[in-house]
Structure 1
Amino acid sequence: MRHRAGDLDRIVIAGAGRAAVAAVEELHRLGFTGAVTVLGGEEHPPYHRPACSKGLLTGRQRPADAHLASTAPARWLPGRVAVELDSARQVVYTHTGEAFEYDGLIVATGAKPVIPDGWPVGEPGLYTLHDVEDALALGAALREARRVAVVGAGFTGSEAACVVSSLARECVIIDSNAQVMTRAVGAVTGGLVADSMRREGVRMRLGRRVRVVSRSRRGWRLDLDDGSHVDADVVISALGERPDTGWFTVPGADTSDGLLCDESLRVLGTKRIVAAGAVARWPNPWYGDAPGRCDQWIAALEQGQAAARTLLAGHRPAPAAPVQPRYWSDLFGLRIQVCGRLDGADDIEVTELRPGRRDVARGGMVAVHLRDGVARGVVAVNAPRQFTTLAREMRAAGPLARPRVSLPAQTSQQRRLSLVG
């Protein structure tokens, strides 16, 4: 698929994260010879965002260490936040007052952190953990803190709690769910990981919501919905993210939960506009028929590549973008790996690699999520060999094959449990 003169001369990419870098590289690989302009909302060049809750937060990495290098030709413009779109004239406007004309537009603006109304985030001691500046500011505050409260026990919140604990700070984590990382690893695995975190000294206030955040003599006071409260020197708000679509002012476009796209990532109701990364919502075969978002780091790379291919296809048919969810994390000595789709209604078969251990997660476990007897997702903790086997089988079968993935062979030291969703 080669670039044709007069077809596309100017491509603008709004956003400069993993999806944007992948799109630039794919455009170059496919032979696009026109101008590519990348508008980055941050002052930093593209970087590995997962480093924000890991190396950048601990101070073991500098921003330059997390740089996401690319040799593909493009005009990189940091510090340009897209604030308005004139799709009729094909112009993107930024907060700097500049206007960027395009023949094709890739929207990769990602997501913004969720901040509850009335929370004075930005005041000393109250932080989000989303970008480089957040990580640097929070890392500096943690060096002086004694007690830290993490509000939100998703992946980011749990990783932040791991960092706080590694710094020998007292840590309490608050979440409305009864376990940690519910959306990311499911309720069963999330409950076992929470047990491991408790044994590491992390205090848990699960099944609770923060009603009020206020200043106190000790720093911050968090009033919970059961009438109790938590005092902390530092508060980390990790309550998830929402797609950054407020600037996307195209009449008729569905921006209710990201940008609604077709199966090839073309934004519905627009011309010459595609989307990639956390901002895109499309009928991903791995998720079933209903459009959904896949906002993991690996998925952003694959979506960026697919969006570039679709844009260069113009009005011609373009391949669908089947993106299999897969992600991982290391925290408290637990290697957590996930592949496929997880749903609260799934039946779950859990294999314990070392039955009898009080800490099931640390001893190793695999949770296979099934629907109608068909494997839809796999979660493994401290079981990399078993995970690799299962994930490879699912990926080889493809999203539409309804694969009946074989469970890991049991040994005399393993135990398998079946749980009904």
Structure 2
Amino acid sequence: MKNEERIVIAGGGLAGLRSGERLRELGYQGEIVIVSAERHLPYHRPALSKEAINGELHASDLRLTISRELNAVWRLGTAATHLEPDRHVVGLPGGEELKYDGLIIATGVEPRHLAGAPRQDPRIHVLRTVDDAIGIKNAINSTQGLVVVIGGGLIGCEMAASVKMMGRDVAIVSRSSTLLGGACGKQIGDTVTEAHRARGVRMAMGVKIRHWVRQPGGVAIHLSDGQVFFAAVVVIAVGASPSVAWLRGSGLVLEDGLLCDATCHAVGATDIVAAGDVARWPNLRFGGQPRRVEHWLNAVEMGRAAAENLLAGRENSRPFTPVPRFWTEQYGMRIQGSGIPALGKDTTTLARSSKDHRTITGFVNEGRLVGMVGLDAPTAMIKLSPELWRQNKVVGGPERQRRVPQHLAGPEPEATRIAPARGELADSGGAPGRGDPGRGDPGRGEEPRLPRQQQDSQPLPIPPREQPRPERSRYEEVRHEETRYEGARYDYTPQHAPVVRTRHQPRPLARSGPRARPR
């Protein structure tokens, strides 16, 4: 071990935290410095648009558990200003230079601006950080008028649902004709749209904003269809942009994020990897086109992958080839996605219930299933998940690939073809995944027997309606929350000797201790 070695992690969110912990799991005993623009230790971002807005949780409730073994130096409230890869230096405010032997970039994203919006007005907000959420909550609690949410994506819909459940009048303004249409498909998007409309959410769909007029009592928003919303509070949720401004001039490739190769190594650098929302990399399981994935579980998995491959070195690294997964919850409805639905050129119904809204939509590209989104159908989603692994093989990478988890690989299902109305979801009191999950098969009108590990592997489990929610917050054990879907991860135990490239010529970074065991 060489005590002078240092790995710098730029970004103190989920990806940065989990990458640092993975370094320790692999036996790295050098210094770890985590540079974070935020003044808070890592916290659970998915709760910001839900429990943090309606007051169910406070900022302290969202804090992530940090491994005792991490032993990192935290530089909170310190945004990286520039990067000099040739000198192996990260610039900090005040002219400070932080040298590194290895660098993990996990700076995430920033809220996208909306052209013409008077962002300087204190009644107009964006949501990215816990401080943003606190500001929005305070603004809502101190006013009585209409709350307008601009954007019909995941964050916008979650925000509108949270505000409506607080008893406030809320409106959604979206350029799309259907909520969540691009992410979930028209069928589920229509169901979500109707759920908002049925609860009294005012909808302005397929419109653009023509004018913003600031007045003493609020902000008048003039729409292209002639409607005018007079808002006491406005929340802009129109997407996010990768936080890469500090990397300009570094020589790295910045194209909708930091461009990386399949192993998370930054293109144009020898000792830099990236993870999370900021990274744009080719997933060899889905065609190899570089793209970013802004999902919570991807930040966990890619943070760990980046740490492993930084220690392994570019030559000994393995490609990061996940099947991405995401989830959202609105009005008690649970939406879970897997794969990359945006790649689908057509959709088909993989499973559905004849008695309620439960359904699973498959996204197909040239006869191959590339994504699926389920509405209140967690058990059936788990049963169908192996198809995404089987039909999307890793191509173009080395032979050492991550494996489909054993319980997902399992025996081949009786029918693997893509066909409409593949199965009917079980009826268990009219609610998804209700009743006894240890019997039957959803394709035959019953739910399958699943091992406990698999039952607990859903991104956002919700107890049956017949049972009350646990008194504790589900974010109190967020480390376990991250790994509830662990069964759908690949084998991530390294099969190589971890080493790292450093300054001017290859030199292994210090590593000691036994090979890390999977968590």
Name the TM-score, length of structure 1 as normaliser: 0.90
Write out per-residue CA displacement over residues 31-85 of structure 1, whole angstroms, 9 at most, x where no aligned residue: 0010000001111111111111111111111111111121222111110111111
In the TM superposition, 1:172-251 aligns within 5 A as 172-251=171-250
Matched, 1:114 2:112: yes
**Equivalence for 1:259:** 258
Matched, 1:99 2:106: no
Write out per-residue CA displacement over residues 2-23 of structure 1, whole angstroms, 9 at most, x where no aligned residue: xx649x8111000011100110
**Equivalence for 2:303:** 304
Matched, 1:146 2:160: no
Matched, 1:388 2:382: yes
**Equivalence for 1:27:** 23
- For 1:76 and 1:326, the matched residues in 2 are separated by 30
- For 2:257 and 2:187, the matched residues in 1 are separated by 29
Q: Give the SS at the match of 1:191.
A: helix
Matched, 1:10 2:24: no
- For 2:392 and 2:367, the matched residues in 1 are separated by 17
- For 2:215 and 2:339, the matched residues in 1 are separated by 44
Asked if the contact 2:82/2:250 (under 8 Å) is kept, the reply is no
Superposed displacement of residue 289, structure 1: 2.1
Could you list the runs of 5+ residues in structure 2 that have no partner in the other structure?
396-411, 428-441, 444-519
**Equivalence for 1:64:** 60
Percent identity among equivalent residues?
A: 33
Superposed displacement of residue 265, structure 1: 0.6
- For 1:49 and 1:128, the matched residues in 2 are separated by 14
Asked if the contact 1:286/1:341 (under 8 Å) is kept, the reply is no
Matched, 1:374 2:385: no
Structure 1 residues 370, 253: CA separation in 2 closer, same or farther (over 3 Å shift)? Answer: same
In the TM superposition, 1:339-378 aligns within 5 A as 339-343=338-342, 345-350=344-349, 353-355=352-354, 363-378=357-372
**Equivalence for 2:81:** 83
- For 2:58 and 2:390, the matched residues in 1 are separated by 38
Write out per-residue CA displacement over residues 135-190 of structure 1, whole angstroms, 9 at most, x where no aligned residue: 00101111233311100011110000001110111111011111112332133321
Superposed displacement of residue 315, structure 1: 4.4
Asked if the contact 2:105/2:273 (under 8 Å) is kept, the reply is yes
Structure showing the higher strand proportion among its residues: 1
- For 2:220 and 2:246, the matched residues in 1 are separated by 35
Q: Give the SS at the match of 1:343.
A: helix
1:126 counterpart (117, 124, 136): 124
Structure 1 residues 216, 405: CA separation in 2 closer, same or farther (over 3 Å shift)? Answer: farther
- For 1:51 and 1:199, the matched residues in 2 are separated by 24
Superposed displacement of residue 356, structure 1: 6.6
Asked if the contact 2:252/2:266 (under 8 Å) is kept, the reply is yes
Deviates more, 1:120-129 or 1:141-150: 120-129
Asked if the contact 1:278/1:293 (under 8 Å) is kept, the reply is yes
- For 1:352 and 1:397, the matched residues in 2 are separated by 18
Superposed displacement of residue 316, structure 1: 2.9
Deviates more, 1:52-61 or 1:154-163: 52-61
Asked if the contact 2:48/2:133 (under 8 Å) is kept, the reply is yes
Supply the AA of the counterpart residue of 1:328. Answer: W
Could you list the runs of 5+ residues in structure 1 that have no partner in the other structure?
358-362, 416-421
- For 2:166 and 2:392, the matched residues in 1 are separated by 43
Name the TM-score, length of structure 2 as normaliser: 0.74
Supply the AA of the counterpart residue of 2:349. Answer: V
Aligned-residue CA RMSD (Å)? 2.5
Superposed displacement of residue 397, structure 1: 6.2
Number of residue pairs aligned between Structure 1 and Structure 2: 406
